[in-house]
Amino acid sequence: MLGLAALNSSAERRTAIPGRSATVSENLNNILANSHPLSDIARKVVDQTRLTREDGLRLYASDDIEAVGTIADHARRQKAGTGKERWVYYNHNMHLNPTNFCVETCRFCSYANPGLSGNTSYTWTVDRVLEEAGKGVKLGIKEIHMVGGLNPACDINYYEDVLRSLKREFPHVHLKAMTAVEIEYLANLEGISYQEALERLISAGLGSMPGGGAEIFDEAVRERMAVKKTPAPVWLEIHGIAHKLGIHTNATMLTGISETVENKVDHLLLLRDQQDKSGGFQCFIPLKCYYEGTNIQSEVTEPTAEDLLKDVAVSRLLLDNFDHIKAYWIQLGEKIAQMAFSFGADDMDGTILEEKITHAAGAKTPLQLAKERIEFLISSSGYVPVERDTVYNVLNVGECPRTTPSTEHLKELVGAR
Ligand code: V47
Ligand code: SF4
Protein backbone atom coordinates (compact mmCIF):
# COMPACT_ATOMS: atom_id res chain seq x y z
CA MET A 1 0.00 0.00 0.00
CA LEU A 2 1.04 3.57 -0.50
CA GLY A 3 -0.03 4.91 2.89
CA LEU A 4 2.02 5.43 5.99
CA ALA A 5 4.49 2.68 6.73
CA ALA A 6 6.00 1.78 10.07
CA LEU A 7 9.46 2.87 11.05
CA ASN A 8 12.14 0.23 11.34
CA SER A 9 14.36 2.35 13.51
CA SER A 10 15.06 6.02 14.01
CA ALA A 11 17.66 6.05 11.26
CA GLU A 12 15.86 3.88 8.76
CA ARG A 13 12.48 4.97 7.50
CA ARG A 14 10.22 3.88 4.72
CA THR A 15 10.38 6.10 1.67
CA ALA A 16 7.85 8.47 0.18
CA ILE A 17 8.19 6.85 -3.22
CA PRO A 18 4.89 5.69 -4.65
CA GLY A 19 4.55 2.06 -5.50
CA ARG A 20 7.55 1.04 -3.44
CA SER A 21 7.86 -0.16 0.09
CA ALA A 22 11.64 -0.31 0.18
CA THR A 23 13.57 1.64 2.78
CA VAL A 24 15.66 4.65 1.76
CA SER A 25 18.87 2.63 1.96
CA GLU A 26 17.34 -0.23 -0.07
CA ASN A 27 16.40 2.29 -2.75
CA LEU A 28 19.87 3.76 -2.69
CA ASN A 29 21.42 0.32 -2.92
CA ASN A 30 19.25 -0.42 -5.93
CA ILE A 31 20.46 2.75 -7.63
CA LEU A 32 24.06 1.89 -6.77
CA ALA A 33 23.90 -1.73 -7.84
CA ASN A 34 21.47 -2.09 -10.69
CA SER A 35 23.36 -0.29 -13.44
CA HIS A 36 20.92 2.55 -12.93
CA PRO A 37 21.72 5.51 -15.23
CA LEU A 38 22.52 7.56 -12.11
CA SER A 39 24.55 4.86 -10.33
CA ASP A 40 27.90 6.63 -10.88
CA ILE A 41 26.49 9.85 -9.44
CA ALA A 42 25.04 7.98 -6.47
CA ARG A 43 28.44 6.35 -5.90
CA LYS A 44 30.14 9.75 -5.90
CA VAL A 45 27.64 11.06 -3.35
CA VAL A 46 28.11 8.06 -1.08
CA ASP A 47 31.89 8.49 -1.35
CA GLN A 48 31.55 12.25 -0.82
CA THR A 49 33.19 13.02 -4.15
CA ARG A 50 32.28 16.40 -5.60
CA LEU A 51 29.77 16.35 -8.48
CA THR A 52 30.59 18.02 -11.79
CA ARG A 53 28.58 20.37 -14.03
CA GLU A 54 27.83 17.37 -16.25
CA ASP A 55 26.49 15.45 -13.23
CA GLY A 56 24.20 18.38 -12.42
CA LEU A 57 22.87 18.43 -15.98
CA ARG A 58 22.29 14.67 -15.92
CA LEU A 59 20.37 14.91 -12.65
CA TYR A 60 18.12 17.57 -14.16
CA ALA A 61 17.72 15.50 -17.34
CA SER A 62 16.84 12.30 -15.48
CA ASP A 63 13.22 11.18 -15.74
CA ASP A 64 13.67 9.15 -12.54
CA ILE A 65 12.75 11.81 -10.01
CA GLU A 66 12.45 9.14 -7.34
CA ALA A 67 16.10 8.25 -7.77
CA VAL A 68 17.21 11.88 -7.79
CA GLY A 69 15.28 12.37 -4.52
CA THR A 70 16.76 9.25 -2.96
CA ILE A 71 20.32 10.34 -3.73
CA ALA A 72 19.66 13.86 -2.39
CA ASP A 73 18.04 12.40 0.71
CA HIS A 74 21.20 10.41 1.34
CA ALA A 75 23.33 13.57 0.97
CA ARG A 76 21.08 15.41 3.40
CA ARG A 77 21.38 12.66 6.04
CA GLN A 78 25.14 12.49 5.56
CA LYS A 79 25.41 16.26 6.05
CA ALA A 80 23.08 16.30 9.06
CA GLY A 81 25.17 13.79 10.99
CA THR A 82 24.31 10.95 13.32
CA GLY A 83 21.10 11.37 15.26
CA LYS A 84 19.99 14.39 13.23
CA GLU A 85 19.05 12.60 10.00
CA ARG A 86 15.39 13.52 10.29
CA TRP A 87 15.78 17.02 11.70
CA VAL A 88 13.97 19.81 9.86
CA TYR A 89 14.67 23.30 11.16
CA TYR A 90 12.37 26.29 11.37
CA ASN A 91 12.47 29.61 13.17
CA HIS A 92 10.07 32.04 14.76
CA ASN A 93 10.54 35.08 12.57
CA MET A 94 8.80 37.97 10.87
CA HIS A 95 9.29 39.74 7.56
CA LEU A 96 9.48 43.54 7.52
CA ASN A 97 9.56 45.55 4.31
CA PRO A 98 10.10 49.23 5.12
CA THR A 99 9.60 50.54 1.57
CA ASN A 100 8.24 49.27 -1.73
CA PHE A 101 9.48 52.22 -3.75
CA CYS A 102 12.29 51.00 -6.00
CA VAL A 103 14.43 52.66 -8.64
CA GLU A 104 14.68 49.30 -10.40
CA THR A 105 11.89 47.70 -12.41
CA CYS A 106 12.69 43.97 -12.49
CA ARG A 107 9.97 42.51 -14.70
CA PHE A 108 9.09 39.67 -12.33
CA CYS A 109 8.57 41.96 -9.34
CA SER A 110 5.00 42.97 -8.42
CA TYR A 111 5.98 44.14 -4.98
CA ALA A 112 7.84 47.30 -5.93
CA ASN A 113 6.28 50.39 -7.44
CA PRO A 114 2.60 49.43 -7.32
CA GLY A 115 1.94 52.97 -8.66
CA LEU A 116 2.12 51.33 -12.05
CA SER A 117 -1.08 49.46 -11.15
CA GLY A 118 -2.78 52.42 -9.52
CA ASN A 119 -1.64 52.01 -5.90
CA THR A 120 0.80 54.24 -4.08
CA SER A 121 4.21 53.26 -2.80
CA TYR A 122 4.98 53.47 0.90
CA THR A 123 8.07 54.33 2.94
CA TRP A 124 7.96 53.75 6.68
CA THR A 125 9.45 56.09 9.23
CA VAL A 126 11.77 54.57 11.81
CA ASP A 127 8.92 54.78 14.33
CA ARG A 128 6.62 52.86 12.00
CA VAL A 129 9.28 50.15 11.56
CA LEU A 130 9.51 49.89 15.37
CA GLU A 131 5.73 49.73 15.69
CA GLU A 132 5.47 46.91 13.13
CA ALA A 133 8.40 45.04 14.69
CA GLY A 134 6.79 45.40 18.12
CA LYS A 135 3.76 43.43 16.90
CA GLY A 136 5.99 40.48 16.06
CA VAL A 137 8.04 40.76 19.23
CA LYS A 138 4.82 40.50 21.27
CA LEU A 139 4.20 37.18 19.54
CA GLY A 140 7.68 35.95 20.47
CA ILE A 141 9.63 36.28 17.21
CA LYS A 142 13.40 35.91 17.44
CA GLU A 143 14.39 37.13 13.97
CA ILE A 144 13.41 40.07 11.77
CA HIS A 145 14.00 39.44 8.06
CA MET A 146 14.02 42.95 6.60
CA VAL A 147 14.37 43.81 2.90
CA GLY A 148 12.92 46.51 0.71
CA GLY A 149 13.10 48.49 -2.50
CA LEU A 150 16.01 50.65 -3.62
CA ASN A 151 14.76 54.02 -2.46
CA PRO A 152 16.89 57.18 -2.49
CA ALA A 153 14.87 58.44 0.48
CA CYS A 154 16.18 55.45 2.48
CA ASP A 155 19.89 56.15 2.55
CA ILE A 156 22.48 54.55 4.77
CA ASN A 157 21.66 56.92 7.65
CA TYR A 158 18.06 55.71 7.51
CA TYR A 159 19.09 52.05 7.67
CA GLU A 160 21.65 52.70 10.42
CA ASP A 161 18.89 54.42 12.37
CA VAL A 162 16.42 51.58 11.71
CA LEU A 163 18.89 48.88 12.75
CA ARG A 164 20.11 50.77 15.84
CA SER A 165 16.56 51.52 16.96
CA LEU A 166 15.45 47.93 16.48
CA LYS A 167 18.46 46.69 18.45
CA ARG A 168 17.84 49.22 21.22
CA GLU A 169 14.16 48.28 21.57
CA PHE A 170 14.46 44.54 20.96
CA PRO A 171 18.05 43.53 21.80
CA HIS A 172 17.29 39.81 21.77
CA VAL A 173 15.99 39.83 18.16
CA HIS A 174 18.43 38.90 15.39
CA LEU A 175 18.37 41.31 12.44
CA LYS A 176 18.75 39.43 9.15
CA ALA A 177 18.52 42.28 6.68
CA MET A 178 19.73 43.96 3.51
CA THR A 179 20.30 41.92 0.36
CA ALA A 180 23.51 42.31 -1.61
CA VAL A 181 21.43 44.40 -4.02
CA GLU A 182 20.60 46.88 -1.27
CA ILE A 183 24.23 46.98 -0.12
CA GLU A 184 25.38 47.74 -3.66
CA TYR A 185 22.73 50.46 -4.01
CA LEU A 186 23.57 52.12 -0.68
CA ALA A 187 27.32 52.01 -1.34
CA ASN A 188 26.83 53.68 -4.74
CA LEU A 189 24.36 56.19 -3.34
CA GLU A 190 26.82 57.23 -0.63
CA GLY A 191 29.97 56.93 -2.76
CA ILE A 192 31.51 54.45 -0.31
CA SER A 193 32.87 50.91 -0.74
CA TYR A 194 30.75 47.80 -0.22
CA GLN A 195 32.94 46.98 2.75
CA GLU A 196 32.37 50.37 4.39
CA ALA A 197 28.62 50.11 3.84
CA LEU A 198 28.61 46.68 5.43
CA GLU A 199 30.83 47.73 8.34
CA ARG A 200 28.54 50.65 9.15
CA LEU A 201 25.42 48.48 9.02
CA ILE A 202 27.02 45.71 11.07
CA SER A 203 28.02 48.16 13.77
CA ALA A 204 24.41 49.45 13.74
CA GLY A 205 23.09 45.94 14.44
CA LEU A 206 23.00 43.96 11.20
CA GLY A 207 23.36 40.31 12.27
CA SER A 208 23.28 38.45 8.94
CA MET A 209 22.13 38.89 5.34
CA PRO A 210 19.31 37.13 3.49
CA GLY A 211 19.91 35.54 0.10
CA GLY A 212 17.68 37.67 -2.12
CA GLY A 213 18.61 39.40 -5.34
CA ALA A 214 20.61 36.55 -6.86
CA GLU A 215 17.74 35.66 -9.25
CA ILE A 216 19.51 33.76 -12.06
CA PHE A 217 23.13 34.81 -12.47
CA ASP A 218 23.16 34.30 -16.25
CA GLU A 219 23.54 37.67 -17.99
CA ALA A 220 21.12 36.97 -20.84
CA VAL A 221 18.32 36.06 -18.42
CA ARG A 222 19.06 39.16 -16.36
CA GLU A 223 18.92 41.24 -19.54
CA ARG A 224 15.56 39.74 -20.61
CA MET A 225 14.04 40.18 -17.17
CA ALA A 226 15.39 43.74 -16.88
CA VAL A 227 17.48 42.87 -13.87
CA LYS A 228 19.75 45.87 -14.19
CA LYS A 229 20.89 45.60 -10.60
CA THR A 230 23.88 43.77 -9.21
CA PRO A 231 25.52 41.45 -11.74
CA ALA A 232 26.67 38.05 -10.48
CA PRO A 233 30.30 39.01 -9.72
CA VAL A 234 29.16 41.95 -7.57
CA TRP A 235 26.47 39.90 -5.76
CA LEU A 236 29.09 37.25 -4.97
CA GLU A 237 31.74 39.81 -4.01
CA ILE A 238 29.42 41.47 -1.50
CA HIS A 239 28.60 38.13 0.13
CA GLY A 240 32.34 37.36 0.24
CA ILE A 241 33.00 40.68 2.02
CA ALA A 242 30.18 39.98 4.50
CA HIS A 243 31.73 36.59 5.25
CA LYS A 244 35.14 38.19 5.74
CA LEU A 245 33.56 40.64 8.19
CA GLY A 246 32.23 37.68 10.16
CA ILE A 247 28.52 37.54 9.38
CA HIS A 248 26.61 34.68 7.81
CA THR A 249 24.54 35.08 4.65
CA ASN A 250 22.13 33.02 2.57
CA ALA A 251 21.76 32.50 -1.18
CA THR A 252 18.77 32.11 -3.49
CA MET A 253 17.92 31.19 -7.08
CA LEU A 254 14.68 32.40 -8.68
CA THR A 255 13.23 29.93 -11.19
CA GLY A 256 10.45 30.38 -13.72
CA ILE A 257 11.97 33.49 -15.29
CA SER A 258 12.99 31.95 -18.65
CA GLU A 259 16.14 30.26 -17.40
CA THR A 260 17.50 27.01 -18.82
CA VAL A 261 18.67 24.01 -16.86
CA GLU A 262 22.24 25.01 -17.78
CA ASN A 263 21.63 28.44 -16.25
CA LYS A 264 20.48 26.80 -13.01
CA VAL A 265 23.46 24.45 -12.80
CA ASP A 266 25.89 27.31 -13.53
CA HIS A 267 24.17 29.44 -10.87
CA LEU A 268 24.66 26.70 -8.29
CA LEU A 269 28.30 26.20 -9.29
CA LEU A 270 29.05 29.92 -8.90
CA LEU A 271 27.61 29.74 -5.39
CA ARG A 272 29.67 26.63 -4.63
CA ASP A 273 32.87 28.36 -5.81
CA GLN A 274 32.14 31.41 -3.68
CA GLN A 275 31.46 29.20 -0.66
CA ASP A 276 34.82 27.47 -1.21
CA LYS A 277 36.45 30.90 -1.05
CA SER A 278 34.59 32.62 1.77
CA GLY A 279 32.66 29.91 3.61
CA GLY A 280 29.92 32.04 5.20
CA PHE A 281 26.78 30.86 3.38
CA GLN A 282 24.60 28.89 5.72
CA CYS A 283 21.53 28.17 3.65
CA PHE A 284 20.37 27.98 0.02
CA ILE A 285 16.77 28.76 -0.91
CA PRO A 286 15.35 27.79 -4.34
CA LEU A 287 12.59 30.29 -5.20
CA LYS A 288 9.72 30.03 -7.68
CA CYS A 289 8.36 33.02 -9.54
CA TYR A 290 4.70 34.06 -9.28
CA TYR A 291 3.35 36.12 -12.16
CA GLU A 292 0.27 38.12 -11.13
CA GLY A 293 0.83 41.79 -11.91
CA THR A 294 3.75 41.06 -14.26
CA ASN A 295 3.81 40.85 -18.05
CA ILE A 296 6.26 37.96 -18.35
CA GLN A 297 3.99 34.94 -18.28
CA SER A 298 3.92 34.43 -22.06
CA GLU A 299 7.73 34.39 -22.15
CA VAL A 300 8.39 31.89 -19.39
CA THR A 301 7.68 28.29 -18.49
CA GLU A 302 6.16 27.93 -15.06
CA PRO A 303 8.03 25.32 -13.02
CA THR A 304 6.06 22.16 -12.24
CA ALA A 305 6.01 20.48 -8.82
CA GLU A 306 8.56 18.04 -10.20
CA ASP A 307 10.84 20.91 -11.35
CA LEU A 308 10.67 22.46 -7.89
CA LEU A 309 11.55 19.20 -6.15
CA LYS A 310 14.43 18.71 -8.58
CA ASP A 311 15.74 22.19 -7.76
CA VAL A 312 15.76 21.18 -4.09
CA ALA A 313 17.47 17.85 -4.81
CA VAL A 314 20.05 19.12 -7.30
CA SER A 315 20.96 22.05 -5.06
CA ARG A 316 21.46 19.66 -2.15
CA LEU A 317 23.74 17.53 -4.35
CA LEU A 318 25.77 20.24 -6.09
CA LEU A 319 26.06 22.53 -3.06
CA ASP A 320 28.05 20.01 -1.05
CA ASN A 321 29.55 22.88 0.97
CA PHE A 322 26.19 24.34 2.10
CA ASP A 323 24.81 22.90 5.32
CA HIS A 324 21.17 23.76 4.78
CA ILE A 325 18.62 23.79 1.95
CA LYS A 326 15.36 25.60 2.64
CA ALA A 327 11.89 24.57 1.52
CA TYR A 328 10.33 28.05 1.41
CA TRP A 329 6.71 27.19 2.18
CA ILE A 330 5.46 30.63 1.09
CA GLN A 331 6.33 29.80 -2.52
CA LEU A 332 6.28 25.99 -2.58
CA GLY A 333 3.03 25.67 -0.67
CA GLU A 334 2.67 23.37 2.30
CA LYS A 335 2.48 20.08 0.40
CA ILE A 336 5.50 20.55 -1.86
CA ALA A 337 7.46 21.91 1.11
CA GLN A 338 6.64 18.69 2.97
CA MET A 339 7.74 16.62 0.00
CA ALA A 340 10.94 18.64 -0.25
CA PHE A 341 12.12 17.16 3.06
CA SER A 342 12.46 13.84 1.23
CA PHE A 343 14.36 15.56 -1.60
CA GLY A 344 17.19 17.08 0.44
CA ALA A 345 15.65 20.08 2.24
CA ASP A 346 16.23 20.36 5.97
CA ASP A 347 14.69 23.74 6.74
CA MET A 348 11.24 25.25 6.33
CA ASP A 349 12.00 28.93 6.99
CA GLY A 350 9.72 30.40 9.64
CA THR A 351 6.44 31.81 10.84
CA ILE A 352 6.98 35.02 8.75
CA LEU A 353 3.87 36.90 10.06
CA GLU A 354 3.25 38.89 6.87
CA GLU A 355 4.83 38.05 3.53
CA LYS A 356 4.47 40.77 0.90
CA ILE A 357 6.77 40.05 -2.06
CA THR A 358 5.31 36.76 -3.31
CA HIS A 359 1.77 37.65 -2.27
CA ALA A 360 1.94 40.84 -4.33
CA ALA A 361 2.47 38.47 -7.28
CA GLY A 362 -0.48 36.23 -6.47
CA ALA A 363 0.74 33.57 -4.03
CA LYS A 364 -2.22 31.85 -2.39
CA THR A 365 -0.35 30.46 0.61
CA PRO A 366 -1.15 31.97 4.02
CA LEU A 367 0.67 35.19 4.99
CA GLN A 368 1.96 33.47 8.11
CA LEU A 369 2.02 30.11 9.83
CA ALA A 370 1.79 29.49 13.56
CA LYS A 371 4.74 27.65 15.10
CA GLU A 372 2.39 24.80 15.91
CA ARG A 373 1.34 24.51 12.26
CA ILE A 374 4.96 24.42 11.09
CA GLU A 375 5.75 21.76 13.66
CA PHE A 376 2.72 19.78 12.55
CA LEU A 377 3.71 20.03 8.87
CA ILE A 378 7.20 18.77 9.69
CA SER A 379 6.25 16.00 12.09
CA SER A 380 3.31 14.77 10.01
CA SER A 381 5.80 14.34 7.15
CA GLY A 382 7.84 12.01 9.31
CA TYR A 383 10.53 14.51 10.37
CA VAL A 384 11.61 16.06 13.66
CA PRO A 385 10.74 19.76 14.02
CA VAL A 386 13.73 21.66 15.40
CA GLU A 387 13.34 25.30 16.33
CA ARG A 388 16.53 27.21 15.60
CA ASP A 389 17.76 30.77 15.78
CA THR A 390 19.00 32.56 12.65
CA VAL A 391 22.48 31.05 12.83
CA TYR A 392 21.24 27.52 13.51
CA ASN A 393 21.72 27.36 17.26
CA VAL A 394 19.21 24.73 18.34
CA LEU A 395 16.47 26.13 20.60
CA ASN A 396 14.10 23.22 20.86
CA VAL A 397 14.03 19.68 19.48
CA GLY A 398 10.50 18.36 18.93
CA GLU A 399 9.17 14.87 19.28
CA CYS A 400 10.53 12.21 16.94
CA PRO A 401 7.44 11.32 14.89
CA ARG A 402 6.35 7.72 14.76
CA THR A 403 4.77 8.18 11.33
CA THR A 404 6.56 8.39 8.00
CA PRO A 405 6.18 10.79 5.08
CA SER A 406 2.72 10.71 3.56
CA THR A 407 3.05 9.15 0.15
CA GLU A 408 -0.28 10.67 -0.78
CA HIS A 409 1.49 13.99 -1.30
CA LEU A 410 3.99 12.56 -3.73
CA LYS A 411 1.34 10.59 -5.56
CA GLU A 412 -0.64 13.77 -6.03
CA LEU A 413 2.25 16.05 -6.96
CA VAL A 414 4.70 13.92 -8.84
CA GLY A 415 2.79 10.78 -9.72
CA ALA A 416 0.35 12.86 -11.70
CA ARG A 417 2.92 14.12 -14.17
O1 V47 B 1 15.19 38.48 -4.32
C2 V47 B 1 10.70 38.85 -6.50
C3 V47 B 1 12.09 37.08 -5.29
C4 V47 B 1 13.25 37.39 -3.39
C5 V47 B 1 9.03 37.60 -7.09
O6 V47 B 1 17.57 34.39 2.92
C7 V47 B 1 9.89 36.84 -6.32
O8 V47 B 1 16.44 33.19 4.32
C9 V47 B 1 8.50 35.02 -6.55
O10 V47 B 1 15.20 36.30 -1.03
N11 V47 B 1 7.64 35.70 -7.33
C12 V47 B 1 13.11 37.77 -1.94
N13 V47 B 1 9.63 35.54 -6.04
C14 V47 B 1 12.87 36.53 -1.07
C15 V47 B 1 14.15 35.99 -0.54
C16 V47 B 1 14.13 35.07 0.61
C17 V47 B 1 12.97 34.43 0.99
C18 V47 B 1 12.99 33.57 2.09
C19 V47 B 1 14.13 33.38 2.83
C20 V47 B 1 15.29 34.04 2.46
C21 V47 B 1 16.51 33.87 3.27
C22 V47 B 1 15.31 34.88 1.34
O23 V47 B 1 11.96 37.15 -3.90
C24 V47 B 1 13.81 38.39 -4.35
C25 V47 B 1 13.36 37.80 -5.66
O26 V47 B 1 14.26 36.82 -6.09
N27 V47 B 1 10.91 37.61 -5.99
N28 V47 B 1 9.53 38.85 -7.19
C29 V47 B 1 7.87 36.99 -7.63
N30 V47 B 1 7.02 37.64 -8.43
FE1 SF4 C 1 13.35 46.49 -6.83
FE2 SF4 C 1 14.08 44.15 -5.78
FE3 SF4 C 1 11.68 44.40 -6.97
FE4 SF4 C 1 13.91 44.44 -8.47
S5 SF4 C 1 13.14 42.68 -7.23
S6 SF4 C 1 12.16 45.85 -8.63
S7 SF4 C 1 15.36 45.49 -7.08
S8 SF4 C 1 12.36 45.43 -5.10
* Residues 224 and 312 both lie in one domain: yes
Q: In this structure, is the dihedral angle defined by the CA atoms of residues 279, 385, 68 and 252, taken in order, positive or negative? A: negative
Bigger pLDDT: 417 or 236?
A: 236
Identify the pLDDT of residue 21: 46
Smallest-distance ligand from the CA of 235 = 1
Identify the pLDDT of residue 365: 86
Question: Residue 13 — pLDDT band, cuts 50, 70, 90?
Answer: very low
- Residue range 179-208: mean pLDDT, rounded: 98
For residue range 115-131, what is the model confidence (pLDDT) as tens digits?
656 668 999 999 999 99
Which domain, by its residues, includes 36? Answer: 4-80
192 domain residue, yes or no: yes
Identify the pLDDT of residue 366: 86
* Residues 92 and 74 both lie in one domain: no
User: Hey, what amino acid is at 241?
Assistant: I
Check if 328 has its Cβ closer than 6 Å to any atom of ligand 1. Answer: yes
Strands 143-146 and 174-177: parallel
* Residues 252 and 309 both lie in one domain: yes
* Residues 278 and 326 both lie in one domain: yes
Identify the pLDDT of residue 114: 77
Pocket test for ligand 2, best of 106, 122, 123 (most atoms within 8 A of CB): 106
pLDDT above 80 (res 415): no
* Residues 68 and 93 both lie in one domain: no
- Residue range 154-181: mean pLDDT, rounded: 98
Identify the pLDDT of residue 35: 86
- Strand locations in 279-407, DSSP E? 281-288, 324-325, 347-350, 384-388, 394-397
pLDDT above 80 (res 22): no
252 CA distance to ligand 1 centroid (A)? 8
Check if 181 has its Cβ closer than 6 Å to any atom of ligand 2. Answer: yes
143 neighbors 176 (Cβ within 8 angstroms): yes
308 domain residue, yes or no: yes
Smallest-distance ligand from the CA of 215 = 1
Q: Which of 147-161, 176-190, 261-275, 395-409 has the lowest mean pLDDT?
A: 395-409
